[in-house]
Protein backbone atom coordinates (compact mmCIF):
# COMPACT_ATOMS: atom_id res chain seq x y z
CA UNK A 1 0.00 0.00 0.00
CA UNK A 2 1.44 3.32 -1.07
CA UNK A 3 1.15 6.35 1.14
CA UNK A 4 1.03 9.83 -0.34
CA UNK A 5 3.18 12.37 1.40
CA UNK A 6 1.24 15.45 2.25
CA UNK A 7 2.24 18.48 0.28
CA UNK A 8 2.60 21.53 2.45
CA UNK A 9 2.27 24.80 0.67
CA UNK A 10 3.90 27.73 2.36
CA UNK A 11 2.71 31.08 1.24
CA UNK A 12 5.13 33.83 2.02
CA UNK A 13 3.65 37.30 2.11
CA UNK A 14 6.00 40.15 1.54
CA UNK A 15 4.82 43.23 3.34
CA UNK A 16 6.21 46.71 2.99
CA UNK A 17 6.11 48.84 6.06
CA UNK A 18 5.65 52.57 5.56
CA UNK A 19 6.68 54.84 8.38
CA UNK A 20 4.42 57.88 8.49
CA UNK A 21 6.10 61.03 9.68
CA UNK A 22 4.71 62.53 12.87
CA UNK A 23 3.88 66.23 12.94
CA UNK A 24 3.07 68.75 15.64
CA UNK A 25 1.79 72.28 15.07
CA UNK A 26 1.13 74.81 17.79
CA UNK A 27 0.63 78.56 18.03
CA UNK A 28 2.66 80.71 20.40
CA UNK A 29 1.44 84.22 21.26
CA UNK A 30 3.34 86.93 23.10
CA UNK A 31 2.93 90.68 23.60
CA UNK A 32 5.57 93.20 24.60
CA UNK A 33 5.87 96.99 24.77
CA UNK A 34 8.63 99.59 24.74
CA UNK A 35 8.84 101.76 27.84
CA UNK A 36 7.86 104.69 25.61
CA UNK A 37 7.46 105.09 21.87
CA UNK A 38 10.23 107.05 20.13
CA UNK A 39 12.10 107.05 16.83
CA UNK A 40 15.07 105.41 18.61
CA UNK A 41 13.16 102.17 19.29
CA UNK A 42 14.17 99.10 17.28
CA UNK A 43 12.51 95.69 17.04
CA UNK A 44 14.63 92.70 15.93
CA UNK A 45 13.57 89.27 14.67
CA UNK A 46 16.11 86.47 14.10
CA UNK A 47 14.83 83.23 12.61
CA UNK A 48 16.49 80.15 11.09
CA UNK A 49 13.66 78.14 9.49
CA UNK A 50 10.41 79.88 8.60
CA UNK A 51 8.74 83.00 7.25
CA UNK A 52 8.48 86.46 8.81
CA UNK A 53 5.48 88.73 8.25
CA UNK A 54 5.42 92.21 9.81
CA UNK A 55 2.60 94.73 9.68
CA UNK A 56 2.82 98.26 11.03
CA UNK A 57 -0.20 99.68 12.84
CA UNK A 58 -1.24 102.54 15.13
CA UNK A 59 -1.07 100.58 18.39
CA UNK A 60 1.59 100.66 21.12
CA UNK A 61 2.04 96.92 21.64
CA UNK A 62 4.14 94.47 19.63
CA UNK A 63 1.88 91.47 19.04
CA UNK A 64 3.78 88.30 18.12
CA UNK A 65 2.12 85.14 16.84
CA UNK A 66 4.34 82.21 15.88
CA UNK A 67 3.31 78.91 14.32
CA UNK A 68 5.75 76.24 15.49
CA UNK A 69 5.89 73.09 13.37
CA UNK A 70 7.92 69.99 14.29
CA UNK A 71 8.13 66.85 12.11
CA UNK A 72 9.90 63.57 12.80
CA UNK A 73 9.62 59.81 12.33
CA UNK A 74 8.30 59.07 15.80
CA UNK A 75 6.24 60.83 18.44
CA UNK A 76 9.26 60.70 20.77
CA UNK A 77 11.40 62.58 18.24
CA UNK A 78 8.66 65.17 17.74
CA UNK A 79 8.33 65.59 21.51
CA UNK A 80 12.09 66.22 21.69
CA UNK A 81 11.75 68.92 19.04
CA UNK A 82 8.87 70.55 20.89
CA UNK A 83 11.04 70.79 24.01
CA UNK A 84 14.12 72.10 22.20
CA UNK A 85 12.65 74.66 19.76
CA UNK A 86 10.99 77.74 21.22
CA UNK A 87 10.37 81.46 20.82
CA UNK A 88 12.31 83.85 23.03
CA UNK A 89 11.64 87.55 23.57
CA UNK A 90 14.18 89.81 25.28
CA UNK A 91 13.79 93.50 26.13
CA UNK A 92 16.80 95.76 26.61
CA UNK A 93 16.16 99.49 26.90
CA UNK A 94 14.86 100.79 23.57
CA UNK A 95 15.50 97.45 21.84
CA UNK A 96 13.29 94.35 21.76
CA UNK A 97 14.52 91.03 20.36
CA UNK A 98 12.40 88.07 19.26
CA UNK A 99 14.27 84.98 18.08
CA UNK A 100 14.03 81.26 17.46
CA UNK A 101 15.78 79.47 20.30
CA UNK A 102 17.32 75.99 20.08
CA UNK A 103 20.30 74.02 21.45
CA UNK A 104 22.24 75.31 18.42
CA UNK A 105 21.64 79.03 18.89
CA UNK A 106 23.11 81.61 21.20
CA UNK A 107 22.04 85.15 22.04
CA UNK A 108 23.93 87.86 23.89
CA UNK A 109 21.38 90.24 25.47
CA UNK A 110 24.04 92.88 26.10
CA UNK A 111 25.10 93.21 22.46
CA UNK A 112 22.04 91.77 20.69
CA UNK A 113 24.28 89.29 18.89
CA UNK A 114 22.45 86.19 17.57
CA UNK A 115 24.20 83.14 16.13
CA UNK A 116 23.26 79.62 15.04
CA UNK A 117 25.95 76.95 15.04
CA UNK A 118 24.88 73.63 13.60
CA UNK A 119 26.85 71.30 11.34
CA UNK A 120 24.61 71.02 8.28
CA UNK A 121 25.89 67.56 7.27
CA UNK A 122 25.21 65.98 10.64
CA UNK A 123 22.18 67.94 11.81
CA UNK A 124 19.63 65.20 11.11
CA UNK A 125 21.68 62.50 12.81
CA UNK A 126 21.85 64.63 15.95
CA UNK A 127 18.41 66.17 16.31
CA UNK A 128 16.47 63.86 13.89
CA UNK A 129 13.58 66.28 13.46
CA UNK A 130 12.75 69.20 11.16
CA UNK A 131 11.25 72.44 12.42
CA UNK A 132 10.00 75.85 11.39
CA UNK A 133 8.81 78.97 13.18
CA UNK A 134 6.54 81.19 11.07
CA UNK A 135 6.22 84.70 12.51
CA UNK A 136 3.21 87.01 12.11
CA UNK A 137 3.80 90.29 13.94
CA UNK A 138 2.04 93.60 14.41
CA UNK A 139 4.42 96.44 15.29
CA UNK A 140 3.89 100.16 16.05
CA UNK A 141 4.41 101.63 12.58
CA UNK A 142 7.05 104.23 13.52
CA UNK A 143 9.45 101.71 15.09
CA UNK A 144 12.65 100.72 13.26
CA UNK A 145 12.88 97.01 12.43
CA UNK A 146 15.64 94.52 11.65
CA UNK A 147 14.37 91.09 10.55
CA UNK A 148 16.26 88.04 9.32
CA UNK A 149 15.59 84.42 8.31
CA UNK A 150 17.55 81.72 6.48
CA UNK A 151 15.41 78.84 5.18
CA UNK A 152 11.83 77.83 4.37
CA UNK A 153 10.14 81.20 4.13
CA UNK A 154 9.84 84.70 2.71
CA UNK A 155 9.98 88.06 4.47
CA UNK A 156 6.98 90.34 4.01
CA UNK A 157 6.82 93.79 5.61
CA UNK A 158 4.08 96.37 5.12
CA UNK A 159 3.12 99.81 6.48
CA UNK A 160 6.36 100.42 8.40
CA UNK A 161 7.68 104.00 8.69
CA UNK A 162 10.50 103.95 11.23
CA UNK A 163 13.89 105.58 10.86
CA UNK A 164 15.50 102.34 9.68
CA UNK A 165 14.35 99.15 7.95
CA UNK A 166 16.63 96.12 7.54
CA UNK A 167 15.69 92.71 6.09
CA UNK A 168 17.94 89.72 5.36
CA UNK A 169 16.91 86.40 3.77
CA UNK A 170 19.18 83.65 2.44
CA UNK A 171 16.80 81.30 0.61
CA UNK A 172 13.61 83.34 0.34
CA UNK A 173 12.27 86.55 -1.16
CA UNK A 174 11.88 89.96 0.48
CA UNK A 175 8.82 92.14 -0.09
CA UNK A 176 8.46 95.60 1.47
CA UNK A 177 5.15 97.31 0.74
CA UNK A 178 4.11 100.85 1.67
CA UNK A 179 7.30 101.56 3.64
CA UNK A 180 9.70 104.44 4.23
CA UNK A 181 13.01 105.08 5.97
CA UNK A 182 16.66 104.20 5.51
CA UNK A 183 16.73 100.76 3.91
CA UNK A 184 19.19 97.86 4.04
CA UNK A 185 18.02 94.65 2.35
CA UNK A 186 19.81 91.47 1.31
CA UNK A 187 18.13 88.49 -0.39
CA UNK A 188 20.84 86.03 -1.35
CA UNK A 189 18.96 83.73 -3.72
CA UNK A 190 15.59 85.36 -4.43
CA UNK A 191 14.00 88.63 -5.55
CA UNK A 192 13.57 91.89 -3.67
CA UNK A 193 10.36 93.89 -4.24
CA UNK A 194 9.83 97.29 -2.61
CA UNK A 195 7.09 99.93 -2.80
CA UNK A 196 7.87 103.21 -1.01
CA UNK A 197 5.32 105.68 0.32
CA UNK A 198 8.19 108.10 0.99
CA UNK A 199 11.61 107.87 -0.61
CA UNK A 200 14.73 107.31 1.54
CA UNK A 201 16.51 110.47 2.63
CA UNK A 202 19.65 108.70 3.88
CA UNK A 203 22.06 106.27 2.20
CA UNK A 204 20.46 102.88 1.54
CA UNK A 205 21.63 99.44 0.36
CA UNK A 206 20.02 96.76 -1.85
CA UNK A 207 21.79 93.41 -2.37
CA UNK A 208 20.90 90.15 -4.12
CA UNK A 209 23.20 87.41 -5.40
CA UNK A 210 20.80 85.45 -7.62
CA UNK A 211 17.64 87.54 -7.84
CA UNK A 212 16.15 90.71 -9.32
CA UNK A 213 15.62 93.96 -7.43
CA UNK A 214 12.35 95.75 -8.23
CA UNK A 215 11.71 99.11 -6.57
CA UNK A 216 8.83 101.55 -7.00
CA UNK A 217 9.73 104.95 -5.61
CA UNK A 218 7.23 107.67 -4.71
CA UNK A 219 6.99 110.32 -7.44
CA UNK A 220 10.17 112.10 -8.51
CA UNK A 221 13.54 110.80 -7.35
CA UNK A 222 16.80 112.67 -6.86
CA UNK A 223 19.61 110.25 -6.08
CA UNK A 224 23.15 109.18 -6.80
CA UNK A 225 23.13 105.48 -7.67
CA UNK A 226 25.94 102.96 -7.39
CA UNK A 227 25.27 99.71 -9.29
CA UNK A 228 27.45 96.62 -9.55
CA UNK A 229 26.51 93.37 -11.28
CA UNK A 230 28.17 90.60 -13.29
CA UNK A 231 25.21 89.24 -15.30
CA UNK A 232 22.46 91.82 -15.24
CA UNK A 233 21.46 95.38 -15.95
CA UNK A 234 19.98 98.54 -14.47
CA UNK A 235 16.61 99.63 -15.91
CA UNK A 236 14.70 102.76 -14.93
CA UNK A 237 11.88 105.03 -16.02
CA UNK A 238 13.70 108.04 -14.53
CA UNK A 239 16.04 110.33 -16.44
CA UNK A 240 19.61 109.18 -15.79
CA UNK A 241 23.03 110.76 -16.35
CA UNK A 242 26.40 109.13 -15.83
CA UNK A 243 28.85 109.98 -13.10
CA UNK A 244 32.52 109.09 -12.91
CA UNK A 245 33.03 105.49 -11.74
CA UNK A 246 33.62 105.11 -8.03
CA UNK A 247 37.01 103.56 -7.37
CA UNK A 248 37.23 101.22 -4.39
CA UNK A 249 40.74 100.32 -3.19
CA UNK A 250 41.13 97.13 -1.16
CA UNK A 251 44.32 96.47 0.77
CA UNK A 252 45.44 92.82 0.58
CA UNK A 253 48.34 91.57 2.70
CA UNK A 254 50.39 88.74 1.19
CA UNK A 255 53.72 87.11 1.93
CA UNK A 256 55.53 89.37 -0.54
CA UNK A 257 54.06 92.53 0.87
CA UNK A 258 50.92 94.63 0.56
CA UNK A 259 48.95 94.72 -2.69
CA UNK A 260 45.97 96.83 -3.66
CA UNK A 261 42.97 95.62 -5.63
CA UNK A 262 40.99 98.27 -7.47
CA UNK A 263 37.26 97.77 -8.14
CA UNK A 264 35.06 100.07 -10.16
CA UNK A 265 31.34 100.55 -9.61
CA UNK A 266 28.93 102.02 -12.15
CA UNK A 267 27.68 105.43 -11.04
CA UNK A 268 24.45 107.12 -12.17
CA UNK A 269 22.64 110.27 -11.24
CA UNK A 270 18.85 110.24 -11.20
CA UNK A 271 17.21 113.65 -11.41
CA UNK A 272 19.36 116.24 -9.67
CA UNK A 273 21.25 113.67 -7.64
CA UNK A 274 21.19 113.48 -3.88
CA UNK A 275 20.76 110.54 -1.51
CA UNK A 276 23.16 107.65 -2.18
CA UNK A 277 21.46 104.37 -3.24
CA UNK A 278 23.72 101.31 -3.52
CA UNK A 279 22.82 98.22 -5.58
CA UNK A 280 25.02 95.11 -5.46
CA UNK A 281 24.15 92.00 -7.51
CA UNK A 282 25.71 89.07 -9.33
CA UNK A 283 23.08 87.43 -11.55
CA UNK A 284 20.06 89.72 -11.54
CA UNK A 285 18.57 92.93 -12.92
CA UNK A 286 17.59 96.09 -11.09
CA UNK A 287 14.35 97.81 -12.12
CA UNK A 288 13.68 101.27 -10.65
CA UNK A 289 10.45 103.10 -11.49
CA UNK A 290 7.86 105.52 -10.14
Q: Does residue 246 belong to any structural domain of this protein?
A: no
Q: Does residue 80 belong to any structural domain of this protein?
A: yes
Q: Does residue 271 belong to any structural domain of this protein?
A: no
Is the pLDDT assigned to residue 8 strictly greater than 50? no
Q: What percentage of the chain carries pLDDT values higher than 90?
A: 68
By residue range, what is the domain housing residue 75? Answer: 22-222+276-289
The model carries a pTM of: 0.85
Q: Does residue 216 belong to any structural domain of this protein?
A: yes
Which residues fall within 8 angstroms of residue 224, CB to CB, at 6 or more apart? Answer: 243, 267, 268, 269, 270, 273, 274, 275, 276, 277
Phi/psi region, residue 48 (left: phi>0; alpha: psi -120 to 50; beta: rest), is alpha
pLDDT band at residue 9 using 50, 70 and 90 as cut-offs: very low
Q: How far apart are CA 275 and CA 203, in angstroms?
A: 6
Over residues 70-122, the pLDDT tens digits come to 999 999 999 999 999 999 999 999 999 999 999 989 999 888 899 888 765 54
Q: Does residue 10 belong to any structural domain of this protein?
A: no
Q: Total domain count for the chain?
A: 1
Q: Does residue 17 belong to any structural domain of this protein?
A: no
Is the pLDDT assigned to residue 256 strictly greater than 70? no
Over residues 149-173, the pLDDT tens digits come to 999 999 999 999 999 999 999 999 9
Q: Does residue 4 belong to any structural domain of this protein?
A: no
Q: Mean pLDDT score of the chain, rounded to an integer?
A: 86
Q: Does residue 240 belong to any structural domain of this protein?
A: no
Q: How far apart are CA 74 and CA 19, in angstroms?
A: 9
pLDDT band at residue 25 using 50, 70 and 90 as cut-offs: very high
Cβ neighbour number for residue 157 with a 10 Å cutoff: 24
Is the pLDDT assigned to residue 189 strictly greater than 80? yes
Amino acid sequence: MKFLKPIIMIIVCCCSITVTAQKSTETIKKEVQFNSLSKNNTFYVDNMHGAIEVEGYNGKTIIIEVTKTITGKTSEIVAKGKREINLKVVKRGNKIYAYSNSPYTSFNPETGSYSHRENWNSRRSRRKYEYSLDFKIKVPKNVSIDVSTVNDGDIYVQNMHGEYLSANNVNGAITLKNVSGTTDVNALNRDINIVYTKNPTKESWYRSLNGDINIKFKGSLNANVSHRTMNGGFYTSYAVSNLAPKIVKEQIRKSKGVKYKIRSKGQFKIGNGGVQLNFDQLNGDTIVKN
